[in-house]
Each structure stands twice: as C-alpha cells, then as structure tokens.
A and B are shown apart, each in its own frame.
Chain A
Amino acid sequence: MTQQSRQQQPTQQQPIALVVGASRGIGRATAIEMAAHGYRVVGWYRSDAAADAEVARQIADDGGWYQGRRTDITDQQQVREGLSDLRRTDGSLQAVIVSAGITRDGLAGTMSLEAFTGVLQTNLVGSFLVARGALRAMRKHGGSIVLMSSTSGIRGQAGQTNYAASKGGVIAMTQALAKEAAPLGIRVNSLAPGFVDTDMFRAMDPRTRASVTDHIPLGRVGRPAEIARAARFLAGPDSSYITGQTLVIDGGMTS
C-alpha cells in the first residue's frame, strides 16, 4: 500500500532517498530533513499508516516530494518488492537510510528466546536485507547507505542484551559492507545516537529517564532533528571520503 504526497513534479535530476522507519522518531525527522534538502523521499513504515500520512502532509506543506510504502523489513520478499517499486520511480536512488529499530528490554536470565531473536531480526537482519537490496539498486551509479546503531552497541546496558547485540552487530556489519561496497562507489556508515527524545525514550522507565542527563555532558537528550542532520551528512556528498565509520551522537555521554 502506498500513500503519496507531492507539491512538485519529480525530475530525473533529483536524487531519491529511501528512509526506512520514516513514520516515527529519528526516521521521521530524517525523511523531513532529506526532503527539505532536495531529495525525493520514499519512506517505508511497518504499520502506522496514519503517522506516515502525517509525514507526507508535512513534507508536502514544505514543498517537498514524499511517497510512503508499508514494508516490513524482516520479510525479504517485502524488501525486494519495495526495491522493485523504487526502480520504477523517476530518478536515481542515491541514499538509503535505515532508521527502523525496536527494543524489548529485560534481564538476560529471564529473557525469552523470542524477545532476543525478535530484536535481532528487526534491528540487524532487517538492516542487512535493506542494505543487500541497496547494494544491488545502487551498483551502477554508487550512493550512500546509512545504518542505525546506538551507543548501546558500543557500551551495552543492563537489560538490553538483545538490543546491544543487534546494534553492536550493525557497527561490525557497517565495516564489512563498506569494504565490499567501496569498489561499487557505495559508501556505508552508521550513526550511534545516545538518548534521543523519541517514543522509544519516552517508553523507558521514568526513573531511568529522569536520571540519564546526569551522565550527559551537554545536559540534555538529543533531538530527532539533530540525528537527522547527521544522517543527511553521511548520506550526501559532504562525507564523500567517509566510509565504514560509526558516528556517535550522544551529547558526550560515551566520551
């Protein structure tokens, strides 16, 4: 199912950015950021069509081009179909930004296997499936892939063995993919946000949420727009000599 919003007709000169997880949080901010900087944005969302429609409206109000598509990135057939649809979109796919991610926090000793593998399936396997498709889609003309890690993938937190494993895996996968993709002119990098003001953060335990800023030198949590600007930097030509890297955006927390 697709929803489309456009204020201007797409031209072949405009690059396309695929933003996975575009309906909420960092993905939403990234879709808006990319559209504001001249990309035609194709946004994938898992289930919240209403939220996607709101993203479409905001981008249209700002004069940008956006097309939403319901796609479950843990389903490789849906990923293939989504990329097949992308090939029929006017323009050239230049950037793929994967912002989808889930948490199912719990102590390792009592965590179900399904809670562990489910998080890996979305955060790591889903990222792989999208990246694999992106390599094929951009193999002729190059481009940039930006994956989403987390500071939890650098310094795991208690209660997040599944999330930490998935986000640590994204960092290592970024390095491996970057080496493979370089001969194709495709750069691969990842972002590692710390605490960011999103639904995921607001769903945390209130006591934990209240205390996080004690450990952040800048004294506040990040804003989705700040992560989005970093995503646009890694996705675009200003980072042309950067690949295989993970950019930490955490207000100094892990420094």
Chain B
Amino acid sequence: MPSQPQLDAATRRFELNTSLRSLLLSGLDLPDDPEHVDFDEPLFGRGLELDSLDTLEIVSILEEEFGVLVSDEDRTIFGSINKLADVIEAEQQ
C-alpha cells in the first residue's frame, strides 16, 4: 500500500504530465486528442512527429511555464512527455 507522500508525489506528477501535454498540444497547434497522447509517446519521429523547429517551442514552454532552462544539446530530454517532466522535477527539487 503506497504511503501518503508517495500518493501525493504521484498525483503531482500526473498533474505535471497533464499540464505539459496540454501546453505542448496547444503550443504546437496539434489537433491530437489529449486523451490519445500517451506520456511515453515519442515526440519526434513516430508518435507526435514533431520536427526540429518544434524544439524551439518545447524549450520556450519549459522556460516560460516552468522556469526550466534547457538547450537542444541533450536530445534525450525531448524523447517524451515523461522525459520532459523528469527534467522539470529535477530542476524543481
């Protein structure tokens, strides 16, 4: 049985992922139904099929909405919504 702190952390993570997903879909003008975008779905290539120009939008969202500063040098952080959320949580701790 998870502890209350674990449940709270899971809730915060879910809310973060949901917020990120919403920001990405609206910021990138994607028509996808949020409910059909998995948090582990690849952002580039198969999946959401984003391109390099979209990287600017992602970097800007992270900075403007979460105060997190990243560059495009670490490609792995752009792998999925969960990977972006990992970066945000690491910065906020």
Contact = CB atoms under 8 A, between A and B. Distances in A.
A in complex with B: yes
Interface of A: 80, 84, 87, 135-136, 139, 183-184
A139 B56 contact: yes
Contacts of A139: 56-57, 60
Contact of B56 (A84, A87, A135): A135
A80 B64 CA distance: 10
Interface of B: 53, 56-57, 59-60, 63-64, 69
Contact of A183 (B53, B60, B64, B69): B53
B53 A136 contact: no
B26 to A, nearest CB: 11
Contact of B63 (A135, A136, A183): A136
Given A87-B64, A135-B56, 5 more contacts: A80-B69, A136-B56, A139-B60, A183-B53, A184-B53
Contacts of B69: 80
Chain A contact surface mostly: helix
Nearest to B27: A140
B50 to A, nearest CB: 14
Nearest to B64: A87
Which one of B53, B56, B63 has the highest number of Cβ atoms from chain A below 10 Å of its Cβ? B56
Contacts of B64: 84, 87, 136
A139 B57 CA distance: 8
Chain B contact surface mostly: helix
A-B pairs, 10 with minimum CB distance: A136-B60, A183-B53, A139-B56, A139-B60, A135-B56, A136-B56, A139-B57, A87-B64, A80-B63, A136-B63
Contacts of A135: 56
Contacts of B56: 135-136, 139, 184
Nearest to B71: A132
Contacts of B60: 136, 139
A136 B71 CA distance: 12
Contacts of A183: 53
A183 B52 CA distance: 12
16 contacts: A80-B63, A80-B69, A84-B64, A87-B64, A135-B56, A136-B56, A136-B59, A136-B60, A136-B63, A136-B64, A139-B56, A139-B57, A139-B60, A183-B53, A184-B53, A184-B56
Nearest to B51: A183
A183 B64 CA distance: 21
Which one of A80, A136, A184 has the highest number of Cβ atoms from chain B below 10 Å of its Cβ? A136
B75 to A, nearest CB: 18
A139 B60 CA distance: 9
Nearest to A87: B64
Nearest to B59: A136
A184 B69 CA distance: 21
A136 B60 CA distance: 6
A232 to B, nearest CB: 27
Contacts of A136: 56, 59-60, 63-64
